[in-house]
Amino acid sequence: MQGARPTTGARMHTETVELLGIPQSNFVRAVRMYCEEKNIRYELTPLRPHAPEVLAIHPLGKVPAMRHGDVTLCESKAIVAYLEAVFPEPPLLPRDLRAAALCEQWISMVNTSIDRTMVRDYALGYLFPKGESGGQPDRAAIDAAVPVLQAQVAVLERAVAATGHLVGDSLTYADIVLLPIIDTVRNFPEARAAIDAAPALTAYFERHAARPSFRKATPPSQAKE
């Protein structure tokens, strides 16, 4: 996708990007933060997963989905790769081969393992407990996720210690996709304790969470101030 141009050409630069999805979704937040960093004009249409308009674009009903002119897309990384080609500056997917590969590596790790443990298994155990818990936190799911989450925090602590970024010494989409996840799990005690005990990760999070792009992409219900 790097360097590709949409067939509809220059007109695409003037069309508004429409993002479909609930603002609380960590993947919706990441794509919004990405658009804010790039100064891409976008509108958020707040739709729940599996809404008919979402299902028309994402066959599994997940958010975010995107419309841009006559282009429709789903899956956050695909959306970002497309937008990076249409709006190349400033680059948030590195162009240098090695940095690009490392960025892809971290995005993949966050989108698969870290999102699964920290959001799906852990945070959703508090927010949307399944089964017979009567709305109480799903302790079995949470307790099973905690050691995995703690190991992932240790991995992230080492990864950001040198430069305060996951890749190189500037912000990339790898950082952007991680930040809403850290923000979400810090609301819950075991994750908060693990992150508070990781000084480089805490400093990394607090520094990037102060960016206007992060604040603008944070739904009011999750804003801390």
Quick note: the x/- pattern for ligand GSH over 176-215, rule CB under 6 A, is: ----------------------------------------
Binder of ligand GSH out of 49, 91, 168, 219 (CB under 6 A): 49
Q: Give the other-Cβ count within 10 Å of 44's Cβ.
A: 19
107 lies in the site for ligand GSH, by CB under 6 A? no
Binder of ligand GSH out of 62, 67, 68, 165 (CB under 6 A): 62
Query: What is the distance between the alpha carbons of residues 80 and 108, in angstroms, rounded to a whole number?
Result: 13
Q: Give the other-Cβ count within 10 Å of 204's Cβ.
A: 24
Closest CA to 122 of 141, 109, 135: 141
**Contact residues for 15 (Cβ-Cβ < 8 A; gap 6+):** 68, 69
Nearer to ligand GSH, 49 or 137 (CB): 49
Distances in whole angstroms, Cα of residue 65 to Cα of each of 29, 40, 49, 52, 81: 12, 16, 10, 12, 13
Nearer to ligand GSH, 26 or 218 (CB): 26
Give the helix/strand (H/E) hosting 45.
strand 42-45
Quick note: the x/- pattern for ligand GSH over 11-40, rule CB under 6 A, is: --------------xxx-------------
Binder of ligand GSH out of 68, 111, 138, 149 (CB under 6 A): 111
User: Smallest distance, Å, CB 75 to ligand GSH?
Assistant: 5
Cβ atoms 186, 218 nearer than 8 A: no
Binder of ligand GSH out of 33, 38, 47, 76 (CB under 6 A): 76
What residue ranges bind ligand GSH (CB under 6 A)?
A: 25-27, 49, 61-64, 75-77, 111
